[in-house]
Every structure is written in C-alpha cells, then in structure tokens.
Chain A
C-alpha cells in the first residue's frame, strides 16, 4: 500500500460522500401557522451590525452563527424567528415564537438529520421553553432538562433560544417599540 492510497482515499471520500439532505419536519410557514394560527405576519431579513453581534454575544455568551436573521412580525407585535444551530454533523433548523412582550410562546424543530437525538422534537421537551424571556438562565440540567441521548442537540437548541432571546431584546424589540 502506497502513501498515495490515503490521499486518494481522502479525495474519493470527499468526492463520493453522500450528499445528505436534512429531514424537513415543518416548513417555516407551517411552523408559524402552528404557533400563531390564522395570524398575519410580515417577513423581513434583519442584518446584524458588528456592534449588535458583540452585544448579543456579551449578553447571551453565545456568538451568532450568522449576521442574517429571518424574522416575521405579527400585527400585534408577535415575532417568529427561524434560525440554525450546530448539530453533531449538520445544522439543526428551528423556529422560535415570541409574544409581544418577548416571552417564548413555542419552539419547533424544522429540520433535523442526526443519527440520534431527534427526541428534541418531543413536545414535552420543547414546552420547557414556554414563557422564558431574555435573562432566563437557559442552561441544561438547571431550568432546561437534558435528554441524555441527545445532549449535544439539547445544549445547542437551548443556547440558540438564549441567543435569540438576547437578539430580540437588543435588536428586535427596540425596533417594535
């Protein structure tokens, strides 16, 4: 076996590695309709400034993955946000619903394609976020119970919600007011 075998193997692996498509459980529209049935929303793409990224990171302890944020605003001040967090291999797409005061109304998992950990889609686990607001601890095994076979996903979704609550308080709510 030649050393080039390993280079060739690596190249072959990169070339032929299956292009996996994440399982889509809900589209953004479906999730929004589930959270806010029959309500009218307006979509906007929010671009975070470097100062806002710094402020969010400082407030939540988690740096935003992207400076672009997909936001829908409801007529009565509700907000619906779609964002991503890292899973074990791929990004997990999730949606966060907030009432006019900035409290969590619901969390939905839109896309998930990991071998293990899809238990985070269970309603009982997601319900732990309901009523949480910016400043809540949002820490595994403190105010959010972990699912032991899905620790990484639980941790990253929890951190994602915490980061979006800080984003809402710093960027979105002041604009609503």
Chain B
C-alpha cells in the first residue's frame, strides 16, 4: 500500500488506528466511496457494473434486532453523463424482544406476527430502478452536480425517490466532499407495532402514505493508492402523507459514522457504519418509541446501518 505524501496523511492514519483500537466498526452511481451518500461519478458510456449491498440495521431498544437488507444491482452507462441501474431488493430479519415494550414488534416485523414470539424470516422486497443524470463534472467544473431518480415497487413498499447530488473535489481530487438532498414519497405497509399509549389498538395491514426527506453530508480522503476513508452524516426526516410541511413531520434523526473504501481495477469494497446519534420527535406516538435518546419503533435502529458494498466493473 503506497501512502500519499500529504499533511493529511498523519491525521487520517491516526483516525484509522483509533477506530481500529476502539473496536468500532471501520469502514460510488459508479464506484461508491461512501456507504450511503451518492457522488456524481458515473460509468462511462457502454460500461457496466455489478454491485452487491449488505446492510445490517442493527439494534433497537432491547435484546436482538438485525434487519439485513440485501440489494443486487446492475448499472449501465447509457452515455457518459446518464446511467441506468436495476435492483433486486430482499431481506432477512431476526428480532426478539426488540421494542420499547420489550416485545418482538416494529420495523419490518410482519403486521400479523405474534409480538410474544421471536421472529426470523427472509423475504423478497421488490425491485427498483435508478436513473442518474450528471450535469456538471467535479473534474471539469468547480462542483459536480447530478440528479437521481429511483422508483421502487414491492409488495410492502412502493415509492419514488429523488436525489440532488453535489460533489466538490479538493487536494488533487484525493478529498471528495459530497452532499445529497433526498426526497422520497412512499406507500408502506404497516408492521405489528402497537402504540404503547393505545395498547388496545390492533396493527393493520393497510399501506400508509409517507414522505422522507434527507440531507446527507460526507467526506472521503484517498490516503493511499486504492484506499479511501472518511465520515458520513445523515439527517433523516419523516412526514405523514405526501407533504413536507412541519405540521406533518413525525421525527428527525441523525446518523454519523466512518467509512472505508478499496478500489481496484475491477473490484471495489466499501464498508460504512452509521450510528444513531440524535433524534427529535414531533408526535406523542413517536416520542413513545424513544429509548436511551434514540428513536426505534417502525423507524430506526441503533446502527442504521452497518453496510458492505462490493462491486465489479465489466470490460
């Protein structure tokens, strides 16, 4: 591994060593240097790439909660500035006494599951597609700018995600700063979560309309040939119905954590670990799902999440 000669090298190494010593989890459309944040890097025209994502949404209020989200993706460069992708989404959930009521309920647990029993199950979530259009390249313009559209269709969730991606490269393109503004409108089937304030209400299987808005910020520094490391911050907001009005807002939650990326000629790996660091709720029902300063219920996990991406570029 050839380290770059730069004043930042020492600092980045210190961060990596500190992360390793603390036994904390260490950790690109196109090759992903971030776990959650998108950059404006796209595949060249006619080139394609396969990616596999594994995300563990881990830990809720008590006991066990591991919600493994898996995504298999194929991306193709239609032009040098337009990329199309298709995903298969599937998951495996293992939950036991996870909720604030210390029963097995909430996030992704089927609506008709007995909360007194632990739950283990795999399911096919659906398919989604992505279209990314790059307007400005960070290598040629002061900033990179791209727009992202992702429709998703499944038995449990149906939605449309729109993302604006901004990227700024510094230090000879070794330091990548990225920001995403995401809005997603979704219809989602409910879980078996029971409102602690209304314990006699039964869960139902109907789909609820919701809108998610997110601001994501990230920095990734290439500290050696092939290797980058950095930090990611997500601010996730959820609203009732198709609205971004504060009067419809349910909560706002923040996630922060490191990432580590290796990029070779054909393969890349990216690891990221985002921890819930703060949550604010705006309804009584959401407030009842707070535990140890974090929001759980149907919404989030302690680690949201631990993500590994592996990608392979075809000739």
Q: Which residues of B contact A113 (CB under 8 A)?
A: 265
Shortest beta-carbon distance from A83 to chain B in Å? 14
Assess the A115–B225 pair: CB atoms within 8 A: no
Q: How far is the CA of A162 from the CA of B143 in the complex (A)?
A: 22
Known contacts being A1-B58, A10-B271, is A149 close to B226, with CB within 8 Å?
A: no
Assess the B266–A115 pair: CB atoms within 8 A: yes
Q: Which residues of B contact A14 (CB under 8 A)?
A: 1, 227, 262
Assess the A156–B173 pair: CB atoms within 8 A: yes
Assess the A18–B23 pair: CB atoms within 8 A: no
Q: Which residues of B contact A90 (CB under 8 A)?
A: 225-226
Chain B contributes a number of interface residues (CB within 8 A of A) equal to 42
Shortest beta-carbon distance from B304 to chain A in Å? 13
Assess the A10–B225 pair: CB atoms within 8 A: no
Task: From A5, A89, A141, A155, give the contact of B264 (CB < 8 A).
Answer: A89
Q: Is A75 an interface residue (CB 8 A)?
A: no
Assess the B140–A155 pair: CB atoms within 8 A: yes
Known contacts being A1-B58, A86-B173, is A6 close to B26, with CB within 8 Å?
A: yes
Assess the A65–B5 pair: CB atoms within 8 A: yes
Q: Is A42 an interface residue (CB 8 A)?
A: no
Q: Which residues of A contact B225 (CB under 8 A)?
A: 89-91
B47's nearest neighbour on chain A, judged by CB, is A116
Q: How far is the CA of A113 from the CA of B2 in the complex (A)?
A: 15
Assess the A114–B265 pair: CB atoms within 8 A: yes
Q: Which residues of A contact B5 (CB under 8 A)?
A: 65-66
B267's nearest neighbour on chain A, judged by CB, is A18
A17's nearest neighbour on chain B, judged by CB, is B262
Which label, helix, strand, loop or mixed, suits the secondary structure of the B interface? loop
Assess the A7–B44 pair: CB atoms within 8 A: no
Assess the A149–B44 pair: CB atoms within 8 A: yes
Q: How far is the CA of A103 from the CA of B174 in the complex (A)?
A: 30
Q: Is B80 an interface residue (CB 8 A)?
A: yes
Q: Using a CB-CB cutoff of 8 Å, which residues 1-49 of chain A contact chain B?
A: 1, 3-7, 9-11, 13-14, 17-18, 20
Q: Is A146 an interface residue (CB 8 A)?
A: yes
Q: Which residues of B contact A115 (CB under 8 A)?
A: 265-266, 313
Known contacts being A88-B263, A149-B44, is A3 close to B306, with CB within 8 Å?
A: yes
Q: Is A69 an interface residue (CB 8 A)?
A: no
Q: Which residues of B contact A89 (CB under 8 A)?
A: 225-226, 263-265
- From A89, A113, A146, A148, name the one whose CB has the most chain B CB atoms within 10 angstroms: A89
A contacts, CB < 8 Å to B: 1, 3-7, 9-11, 13-14, 17-18, 20, 62-63, 65-66, 86, 88-91, 113-116, 140-141, 146, 148-152, 155-156
Those 5 A-B pairs whose CB atoms lie nearest each other, nearest first? A149-B44, A6-B25, A148-B80, A10-B26, A151-B139
Other 16 A-B pairs with CB < 8 A, given A7-B24, A10-B27, A155-B139 = A3-B23, A3-B25, A6-B27, A7-B23, A7-B26, A11-B20, A13-B269, A20-B226, A89-B225, A116-B47, A116-B313, A148-B44, A148-B81, A149-B45, A155-B140, A156-B173
- 14 pairs, A vs B, C-beta closer than 8 Å: A1-B58, A3-B24, A3-B273, A14-B262, A18-B264, A18-B267, A86-B173, A86-B174, A91-B2, A114-B265, A116-B313, A151-B140, A155-B173, A156-B172
B contacts, CB < 8 Å to A: 1-2, 5, 20, 23-27, 31, 44-45, 47, 56, 58, 66, 68, 80-81, 137, 139-140, 172-174, 225-227, 260, 262-267, 269, 271, 273, 303, 306, 308, 313
